[in-house]
Amino acid sequence: MNQFYLLLDGQLIPASAKLKRLLTPGLMKGRGVFETILVRGKKPLFWKEHVRRLRQGLKCLGLKAIANRSFTHELSAILHQNHLTNARVRLVVWKQKKRMHVGWVAEPLEGRSRKKINQGFRAAVAKERKNQTNASHIKSIDYRRLRDAYEKAHTKGFDEVIFLNQDKQLVEGSRANIFFVKNRCLYTPALSCGCLGGIIRQQIIRIARQRKIPLRVGHFSLEQLLASDEAFLTNSIIEIVPLMRVNHQPIGKQRLGPVTQSLRKALFAICR
């Protein structure tokens, strides 16, 4: 079995379970941000968008000293060292005890099986609320609540957990944005609901507008999601996965709907 390496503060270090845990958002100490990047054919997808969001997050947290750093060389180094062509890469930048750190974890794509992605996800609704804050738009390492909610749902057989805000409006998943379709119109929660401006979320909104798919970005209820014709989740690793059930209740006909399929094909063309 090949030895995998982490890149921590410019130094290549043999990966261990302990080190990987120390670089896991939600378990880390300090203040900072992270990005999870999909690499295909050694090419990081939406690299500029990821770096831009990371820099914005650092500036928002007052960590400006490292915000303008170029991360391209480090990305190439970690991929080369681990002999990876297709990978899931996590970049973490944080401050702990007055010192800034940069960490990289690169692993082969688990390739959540295409069969599983086509089967779609089942999601639970979290009891906890996720409200808009000054840091809602930041992909922060302060991720413990979302991580715990996901793990609790995962132990019960769910693939994701969906959050509502204090007004019982849809927000997002623990690691994904939400879209749903009703009468061929596409809906997704607005950032003012408290969700993260996901990279793939932005791409889907852009594609929908280009294709003149009716689109509403706003404030929606769980009941509207449950009554939808089709729904899906997005993030940089899963890209688009149909959402088939929420709290054991079926969404639409529990199959890949025509709007979801059209958007997936368009996104696939961009990503490949």
Residue 74 has pLDDT above 70, yes or no: yes
Which pLDDT score is estimated for 255?
Answer: 87
- 136 sits in the region (left: phi over 0; alpha: psi -120 to 50; else beta) called alpha
To the question of domain 5-108 being in CATH 3.30.470.10, the answer is: yes
Residue 234 has pLDDT above 90, yes or no: yes
Which pLDDT score is estimated for 112?
Answer: 53
266-270: long-range pairs with CB below 8 Å, 24+: 266/207, 266/211, 267/200, 267/203, 267/204, 267/207, 267/239, 267/240, 268/239, 270/203, 270/207
CB atoms within 10 A of CB 261: 15
CATH architecture assigned to 114-271: Alpha-Beta Barrel (3.20)
**Where along the chain do its domains lie?**
5-108, 114-271
**pLDDT tens figures, 162-195:** 999 999 999 999 999 999 999 999 999 999 999 9
Residues with Cβ within 8 Å of residue 110, at least 6 apart in sequence = 88
Residue 66's pLDDT band (cuts 50, 70, 90) = confident
3-state secondary structure string across 213-235: CCEEEECCEHHHHHCCCEEEEEE
Residue 111 has pLDDT above 70, yes or no: no
Residue 114's pLDDT band (cuts 50, 70, 90) = low
Residue matched to tokens 């063309």: 269
Residues in the chain: 272
Residue 115's pLDDT band (cuts 50, 70, 90) = low
Which pLDDT score is estimated for 93?
Answer: 95
Residue 40 has pLDDT above 80, yes or no: yes
**pLDDT tens figures, 210-228:** 999 999 999 999 999 999 9
Residue 131's pLDDT band (cuts 50, 70, 90) = confident
CB atoms within 10 A of CB 243: 27
Residue 69's pLDDT band (cuts 50, 70, 90) = confident
Percentage of the residues of the chain whose pLDDT score is greater than 90: 79
100 vs 95: CA distance, rounded Å: 4
258 vs 229: CA distance, rounded Å: 10
**Model's pTM, two decimal places?**
0.94
